[in-house]
Structure 1
Amino acid sequence: MTYLPCVGCGWCCMHDQCTDSLRRHGYLPRCPELFWNDEAGRYLCRTMLEGDAGDSIRRNQHTGKGCCAPLNSWRKDVRNRDT
């Protein structure tokens, strides 16, 4: 199966917390580690930016392997949804 690349639309983290987020924060409506980065023009995850811990989380979340929700409409409308 071929996956489309992640575009950083935020859909996954806003709708379905990953196991790493659940361990850190418990069940929440949205992962608090998710943030919009104006420079990159996409959402990023703070935990994935944490050096060695980030390496482990990126492996756990299969970062770079592609989008697991390629039919979601946010992929075509990547924007800051926090405002």
Structure 2
Amino acid sequence: MQPEQQQRIMGYFIEEAKDHLNTIEQGVLNLQSTIEDQEMVNELFRAAHSVKGGAAMLGLNSIQQVSHRLEDYFKIL
């Protein structure tokens, strides 16, 4: 892959990850109401899953591992 392509893909990942992390942050900050709303819990799971997939594609192993753990926690909820 060309460096320009890799940089562009990384930019897409960062922009998408910001949105997903914002979703996760809001869900965690409002955890009491979040756990009562299964749809919101599913949204948090999907956000973590999306970050995990993008990180895996780009070889960002630490981010992938943290996202995987978040997925596991959201499954418990």
TM-score when scaled to structure 2?
0.28
Structure showing the higher helix proportion among its residues:
2
TM-score when scaled to structure 1?
0.27
Structure showing the higher strand proportion among its residues:
1
Q: Greater relative contact order (Cα 8 A, min sep 6): structure 1 or 2?
A: 1
Larger Rg: 2
